[in-house]
Amino acid sequence: MATSTAGSEFLRPPSNQDFDTVRREPSHYNPLDTFRLPSGQDRHYQQQYGDMYFLRLAKLKPAVEEIAVDAWEGFSIAGENARRVERVLDVRQGELCWVAGTIYMDMPLKPNILDDLTKENYTLAPPPRPTYQDPANPDSTQIMLEDESGRLRLTGSMLRNTQLCTGAIIAVLGTENSNGDFEVIDIKVPDLPQQPRRWESEGVDAPQKGPSKGKIAFVSGLGITGTSSDTLALELLTDYLLGYTGTASAEGAPPNASAITRLIIAGNSVGARMTVDANAETKKKSGPKKYGYDASAYNASPITRLDSFLAEILPSIPVTLMPGESDPANFSLPQQGIHRAMFPQARAYCAPPAAGAEKPEPGWFDSVTNPWEGDVEGWRLWGCSGQNVDDVLRYLNFANEEGNVGDGAGDVKARIRIMEAMLRWRCGVPTAPDTLWSYPFQTDDPFVMQACPHIFFAGNQPRFKTATIESDSPLKLNGADTEMTGTDEETTSGPRVRLISIPKFKETGELVLVDTETLEVEVVKFSTFAGQQEKQ
Amino acid sequence: MAIADYKKYLAENVLNERRTVTYRSIGRALRVHSTLAKQMLYDFHQTENNKKPNSVNATYIITGVQKSPELTSAANGAQDSFYDNNGIPPSSPYVSSSMPNQDAVTDEIAISSVLLVREEDLEDAKSTFQSISSIHVYSLQPTVLQDLNVLTDVAAEMAASHAQEDPLEYGQSWGMIQGNNVRRRTGGRPPVPAAPPAPPKATIPAKRPIKSEEPTQSKVEPEEKAPKVEETTKREETPASTKPIEKTAPPKQKGSIFSSFAKAKPKQKKEESATPASGVESAEPNGAEDLVLGDASDGDEEPEELFPDSGKSAHIGTRESRKEREEKLRKMMEEEDEDEEMPDTEPSPEESKPIDEPPPKQAELKEEVTVRGGRRRGRRQVMKKKTVKDEEGYLVTVEEPSWESFSEDEPAPPPKKKPAVSAPKAKPAAKPGQGNIMSFFSKK
């Protein structure tokens, strides 16, 4: 219960005490340009998307095959050894074999550009669906394995227990049945990639100045609308980050804000669509269309409010800002950083414009891409504003758990599992470019993870949730399967990843803090107490 | 010091003017540490209510750990799911052999809360806490706040009225946590302390001398940078030196409306010679430039802000007044044209002219364009082959000019407006296929 002494620091007449200056821990920060698109003339949208799948398969096939070889070499059923098949088309009927390829899911409710064209349905964006599965007809979902040679329909009870989505690279063990379908006995995924050691990118003699008690703060879904209905929680968040809330060290107090070395805003900072009435109004009036800044059609207040929020906290704390679905950035992934011209106040803290070829030092205020990869306090971070998780969730049938597709607890668990699956697929955004809009990459698929992050986060999730995953346990077949002669590898210290699903601040008022030494997670919640006044 | 004045300040604001005062707004107004400000509010609240009960109402901030179990609000569901989740749900084992050790280790998460509470609800709110680490007064107001969101307006007002104060300089005295390596851009675009927030200006210069002494005593890195801003301001911007206060050059200063003009200037001059009418819409060049900027983030000098008036619009009443001021600014700027060089944007005349010229003019010889319902329709002259039978019965083919109608989906400004349209405005229209800037932001 409340102690009577609590808060005595503040609940007393003014004193003449001196106040020490509180200083913030320095931030070590090194963003990576993995998702930065070429600018201006070099950015083309004419290419075919097929290249992305080809690149992804080329990159991940060796990895998954290595694991599959370990697991399945010498695997035999009834005296028949599993044979490795190079291409999907080379699978022969009745023969026990394994093959690697890309998953493609054909689902009844998945948006299909060809359907839209044949139906002459030229709407810009298909309405978002909660799921691509047809709940009335779950068998209409087809899972196929494809590579550059062809496609193979997968079947078998194994698939019912495994959640897959388009774009994942896996290896399957099984045999082709008389229908021409591939009966799956087992599945292997690329699993976690190599994880860099902490401070690895900074060189060996990294700033190892003993244990610094730093924290990295994550927030997403600020949902600023610019109206007075903006939650007061944002105000309280500002106060906290700036250290005005108090630096009480009592038990149960929120961590001292001076330990927070960086704030990462993971998308959807702006709530209302700023141009939403622009289209509606031009339709109504059908008047002359104006170019440029039209104050009547453009509501600048959300971004202005965001700007002043940033400008308020920036003098004290460095900020990394990722765009999200509702932010004023391009819609297709990877979203490029919100242009600093949007932030007339906050941009003073930006890095100076790149002069020449040399890479400029990252700014105190860094407007980065979504997804984004970078090193903070030596740890590798990989995060997205949540589109990747939301979209994969539509492929998976988690509805049967709770009976409904919603934001239940099962959904929250599912989201963390999806995040884990992505890491094990080594692909952060597997469903791009199928059902998530994406830039048509030509030479490189940056969504494939080259290095395993230490912190993998997804913004704008309904609830906060965290988990730790490892890959250090031996790989083995489970179930009623038979002998296997797989060897264990890297059992000593495999990668450890902290998964964080960051809730929408607008709805939960939660700020997520990650300790920079232990990667322990804490939550600080900002809210107002709905008292009698509001209950009436 | 200001500490003695706080009672007067609070009495004036809360009791007389019936306004809401938060600890931050009094902290800013009196330039005191946030802790001291909280104590002031508390003290005032106590003494006034002792004199006359319920004359002042307060809101409090409680920090600590809330009791979790009995809270059933949606926001606490996250915690519930920690306890019931031990990895694998029985029905659908996502954990398959393909994904070994799905040991989603969920550990207990410390959740601390920062809660804003009205005075009447203080005890109720306290009872929801497992342990309380601190309580302080957040705001004082004459009556009970029906809607706590009013407090956001107080904060906005405070931010606006103290926009001139550089947080890097004063932050320390407010009790703000100091960032050690704050980097703020100094060169390039020094903020001009000219027009924007007129109302507070009157009071600030008076207070400034008192204040500027203390922060300079403790040399902090960011402060050392502040003078640099000043220097660059002086060197580069002659207009700045004409202004009375160009001292702190705060970052809040979004204005720099000036430099926007300065940047567009060389171009504008050219335009004016080309299309004399262009000067009319002086507010437009900003908007037009935005179209060009897109998200190309690599220009050597970034383009102007998209919403030059945003935020400011609160103080500045009408559009007319802004225009007047811009007009003044422009005049001033043009006077300085001679002695000031702006090397960064200097479009050569050959380049700028064809672009600046509105495209319809070039096509006018052969086209008539009308705009109906957002579509451009028109006729153009083409050479057509025509085959006729002459009087002798032979087929004769002749080429002759004829008119054919065409339409384009591309919307264009109506023709009658054309003369009034300023040249940069016409620029984007010149590129066929480039849509409205709005479509850039909208979801596709």
Mean pLDDT for chain B?
A: 59
User: Which residues on B lie below 8 Å from A235 (Cβ)?
Assistant: 151-152, 155
Structure tokens that stand for A173 in this block: 């063990």
The answer on pLDDT for B435 being more than 60 is yes
Contact A254 B251 (CB under 8 A): no
Peptide bond into A371 cis (omega under 30): yes
The answer to whether residue A311 neighbours chain B at the CB level (below 8 Å) is yes
- CB contacts, 8 Å: B84 with chain A: 409
Q: How far apart, in Å, are the Cα atoms of A358 and each of A215, B185, B344?
A: 30, 18, 20
pLDDT exceeds cutoff 70 at B431? no
DSSP per residue, A203-259: -SS----S----EEEEEB---B-SSTTS-HHHHHHHHHHHTTT----STTPPPPGGG
Is A69 touching B (CB cutoff 8 A)?
A: no
The CATH number, out of the four listed (3.90.1030.20, 2.170.150.70, 3.40.50.300, 3.30.2320.50), of the domain defined by the range B2-85+106-161: 3.90.1030.20
- Collapsing DSSP to helix, strand or coil, A264 comes out as strand
What is the nearest CA distance from B396 to chain A, expressed in angstroms? 44
Burial of B210 (0-12, 13-18, 19+ CB in 10 A): exposed
> Which of B134, B145, B297 lies nearest to residue A250, judging by beta carbons?
B134
Domains of chain A (ranges, CATH numbers): 50-188 (2.40.50.430), 214-279+299-471+497-531 (3.60.21.50)
Which of these, A130, A218, A221, lies nearest to A507 by C-alpha position? A221
Return per-residue pLDDT of chain A as tens, 536 residues.
Answer: 434 444 466 777 776 666 777 777 777 888 888 888 887 778 888 888 888 888 889 888 888 888 888 888 877 777 778 888 888 888 888 888 889 999 888 887 777 777 767 776 666 665 666 777 776 666 778 888 888 888 888 888 878 777 788 888 989 888 888 888 888 888 888 888 888 877 776 654 455 555 567 888 999 988 888 776 666 888 888 888 888 876 555 556 677 777 888 899 988 888 755 544 444 444 444 445 555 555 566 677 788 888 888 888 888 888 999 998 888 888 888 888 888 888 888 888 887 766 655 566 778 888 888 889 988 888 889 999 988 888 888 887 655 444 444 445 567 788 888 888 888 888 888 888 888 888 888 888 888 888 888 999 998 888 888 888 887 544 433 333 333 333 333 334 578 889 999 998 888 888 999 988 888 888 888 888 776 555 54
Tokens of A179: 């229908």
Would you call the peptide bond into A334 cis, given omega within 30 degrees of 0 as the criterion? yes
N-to-C CA span, chain A: 27
| Closest CA of chain A from B394, distance in Å | 48
d(CA A301, CA A276): 13
Query: Which string of DSSP letters, residue by residue, matches B302-359?
Result: PPPPS-TTTTGGGTS--HHHHHHHHHHHHHHHHHHTTT----S----HHHHHHHHS-H
Burial of B7 (0-12, 13-18, 19+ CB in 10 A): middle
Query: Per-residue confidence at B267, pLDDT binned at 50, 70, 90?
Result: very low
Report residue A105 as tokens: 């899911």
Which uninterrupted H or E stretch holds A263?
Answer: strand A260-266
Task: Write the single-letter amino acid at A97.
Answer: C
Chain B residues with CB under 8 Å of A26 CB are 180-181
What is residue A431's predicted lDDT score, i.e. its pLDDT? 87
Quote the DSSP letter at residue A16.
-
Contacts of B115 in chain A (CB under 8 A): 527-529
pLDDT band at B424 (very low <50, low <70, confident <90, very high): very low
In angstroms, the separation between the Cα of residue A157 and the nearest Cα of chain B is 12
CA separation for the pair B321, B331 (Å, rounded): 15
A533: closest chain B residue by CA? B146
Residue to test with chain B: of A244, A327, A417, most B Cβ within 10 A: A244
The mean pLDDT of B149-168, rounded to a whole number, is: 74
Q: Which of residues 453-492 of A touch B (CB under 8 A)?
A: 463-471, 473-479, 481
CB contact under 8 A, A10 and B38: yes
Rg (CA), chain B: 32
Distance CA(B299)–CA(B231), nearest Å, equals 25
Min Cα distance B385 → chain A (Å) is: 36
Question: pLDDT tens across B359-406, in order?
Answer: 444 444 455 655 555 555 666 777 777 777 777 778 888 777 777 776
pLDDT for res A264: 92
Give residue limits of the domains in chain B.
2-85+106-161, 167-242, 257-352, 359-420
Q: Kindly determine whether residue B298 and residue A39, on different chains, have CB atoms separated by under 8 Å.
A: yes
Q: Which amino acid is at B17?
A: E
- Find out whether the peptide bond into A433 is cis, omega within 30 degrees of 0: yes
Lowest-pLDDT range, B2-11, B31-40, B319-328? B319-328
Closest Cα in chain A, distance from residue B400 (Å): 36
Closest Cβ–Cβ partner in A158, A297, A527 for B438: A297
Distance CA B58, CA A389 (A): 43
Q: Contact A12/B43, CB-based, under 8 Å?
A: yes
Please report residues of A whose CB lies closer than 8 A to that of B295. 39, 329-330, 336, 339
Cα dihedral B257/B262/B264/B268 (nearest 10)? 120
Binned at pLDDT 50, 70 and 90, residue B281 comes out as very low
Is residue B317 predicted with pLDDT exceeding 70?
A: no
B131 forms beta bridges with: B65
Across the interface, whether the CB atoms of B114 and A254 are under 8 A apart is answered yes
The predicted structure's pLDDT at residue A456: 92
Is B24 close to A409, i.e. CB distance below 8 A? no
**Which residues 153-182 on chain A approach chain B with CB closer than 8 angstroms?**
158, 161-163, 170
ipTM: 0.75
Cα angle for residues A192, A195, A200 (degrees, 5° grid): 170
